[in-house]
A and B are shown apart, each in its own frame.
Chain A
Amino acid sequence: MSDLLQAIEEKLGDAVEDSHAYRGDDTILVSHDRVLEVMQTLKDDSSFRFNMLIDLTAVDYLGRDPRFEVVYHLGSVEVEARGSEPSSLRHRLRVKSGVAEVPCEIDSVTSIWPAANWMEREVFDFYGIRFKGHDDMRRILLYEEFQGHPLRKDYPKERRQPLIGPRN
């Protein structure tokens, strides 16, 4: 186990349900009702300082319980740096959290990282996962009249949308 994972498990205790470092990517699994508290710690604690939400996405594991997994990629960049030397804690972390099909929701992290705004809208758009506390939960890449959430595994690729009409 890497030093980072060890430090995180010591700090967060039972909030971390599982962890692994497959192919060198440090990953922790967090229960969906503790995401907000864990993220706040990861951002504020001086030994982690994950001040950048690099990416936020979801995966649909159809047939598994919980069905969805929201995946956060965190990074760390030094804000006060000057000069030509790159400065960051140079660590990354993947945080995953399971989300059930019903209720399909999880806490929004927009209060911690404003960058989450569009990323959460995208996940809502494609997976239908709602983010509690997000003040603008609209579709982003698809249009309002679009029916269904296309990246769900039970959405067939060939499905036509009412506004588009049948193929012929």
Chain B
Amino acid sequence: MAEPVKKARTEGKGGLHTDIQKLNMGPSHPATHGTVKFTVELDGETIQAMDVAVGYLHRGFEKECESGTYYQAIPYTDRLNYNSAILANLGYCMAVEKLLEIEIPDRGEWARVLAGELSRVGDHLTRLGAACLELAAMTPFLYGIEARELIWDLQEMLCGARVTSNYVRIGGLQRNIPDGFEDRCEESLKRVDELLVDFDKIVTANRIFVDRFRGTGVLSREDCVAYSVTGPLLRAAGIPYDLRKAEPYSKYDEIDFDIPVGTTGDNYDRFLVVQEELMQSIRIIRQCLPVLRKTKGQPVDIQDPHIRWPGKNRVYGRMEELIQQFKGVTEGIKVPAGEAYVAVESANGELGFYIVSDGSGKPYKVRCRPPSFVNTQPLSRMLVGGLLADIIPTFDMVNMIGGECDR
């Protein structure tokens, strides 16, 4: 993909001749999170050409999905992005729901928005913290991780798992919002706010940090569109495109929030955009809480035993429900034949699911449109001409998640 090097020897500054040097970085490199291999050709410290090799974490996600029922694919979607598993659950379930033509109750939608935004906050915190860590700044990372831990505790309260949530279900959620969640959430968010203020004070105006981020890894608006880049990278380049606003799904059209945009499309703008999005997500969560308080006691699932089978308390005691559960588990939900594409705004950009159904209980094809994979493609375009050291902050801001990129 990158331009081949034309001449082996070039003239450096002051008439000194330098040799082009080939450097392999990865697949397992301490300064990159995720397994990815860069082959860079260097003239001094300047990158002349770069090839990015992905795929080290491929585990046959799509093939596995095709061999199980629709339900059995949900845990696989957790493993796409370990930071924001709920958003991946959500995208997949929404795609199946589109084929089934069902709508879930209001409380369920609000709970989904809440869970999804919690997930996004956790993802953004990791991205910001890890960016500092990989520039050798350990302290801000700890602030980010303390905040993320609070968010993951909330996630644990929702679904019993900190990371691989497996929370969203076709036609609802794994379980209703537990009692006392709203108060606990408010408390945690207060602490997260404090941590973010501290984080901002340490990092955002720090000279060393700014020098590494400003003006590096630039991708212009035109290039962003040409390479189908979405998410914070696209918005940092100045295009206010966010699926939550552009094609509002769930309850996003009833929620008040802003889309931050950058101007230059460099790493510093990306950092600021992610930071502001974090604030906006917290703002969204705060709008969900009163609604959830008001709708307490209402169901989050649709009342259709063929799709969302009855709870265990009824399955163990009643014949009809037992049969429904048995058929649901062994044969799977019958999804009408056809195809549907649903995209949600994940923390990295547009996460889409294209599902083809042949009318049986197993999906015929599940395609995940991974934002990480698509956003990683123009990495060499961002970096050729820059310094070797720019790879680290740029790769951080691109935020390639191996599980999602390689599937």
Contacts and interface: CB of A to CB of B under 8 A. Distances in A.
The 6 A-B pairs of least Cβ separation, nearest first, read A141-B55, A115-B228, A55-B369, A86-B246, A141-B58, A57-B367
B62 interface: yes
Given A87-B240, A115-B226, A141-B406, A71 B354 contact: yes
Given A90-B246, A141-B407, A83 B240 contact: yes
A79 B239 contact: yes
Interface string A66-86: 000001010001110111111
Looking at chain B's contact residues, the main secondary structure is mixed
B341 A25 contact: yes
Contacts of A117: 1, 377
Interface string B337-376: 0111101000000101010100000001101010001100
Interface string A114-145: 11011100100010000000001001111100
A83 B238 CA distance: 8
Contact of A86 (B55, B245, B364): B245
Contacts of A113: 226, 228
Given A51-B225, A90-B246, 17 more contacts: A22-B338, A23-B101, A27-B339, A51-B226, A55-B352, A57-B354, A71-B367, A77-B234, A79-B239, A86-B240, A113-B226, A114-B227, A114-B378, A115-B226, A115-B227, A122-B373, A151-B63
Q: Which of A86, A119, A126 has its CB near the most chain B CB atoms (within 10 A)?
A: A86
Interface in B207-256: 221-222, 225-228, 234, 238-242, 245-247
Given A22-B339, A25-B339, A54-B352, A86 B63 contact: no
Contact of B340 (A22, A53, A59, A139): A22
Interface of B: 1, 54-55, 58, 60, 62-64, 67, 98-99, 101, 221-222, 225-228, 234, 238-242, 245-247, 258-259, 261, 338-341, 343, 350, 352, 354, 356, 364-365, 367, 369, 373-374, 377-378, 406-407
Contacts of B55: 139-143
Contacts of B364: 59
Contacts of A87: 240-241
Given A55-B354, A118-B373, A78 B58 contact: no
Nearest to B381: A114
20 contacts: A23-B99, A23-B101, A23-B340, A54-B228, A55-B341, A57-B354, A73-B369, A78-B239, A81-B238, A81-B239, A84-B240, A84-B258, A84-B259, A92-B341, A115-B377, A117-B377, A126-B62, A140-B54, A157-B63, A157-B67
Contacts of A53: 228
Contacts of A143: 55
Contacts of A71: 354, 367
A133 to B, nearest CB: 15
Nearest to A94: B341
A147 interface: no
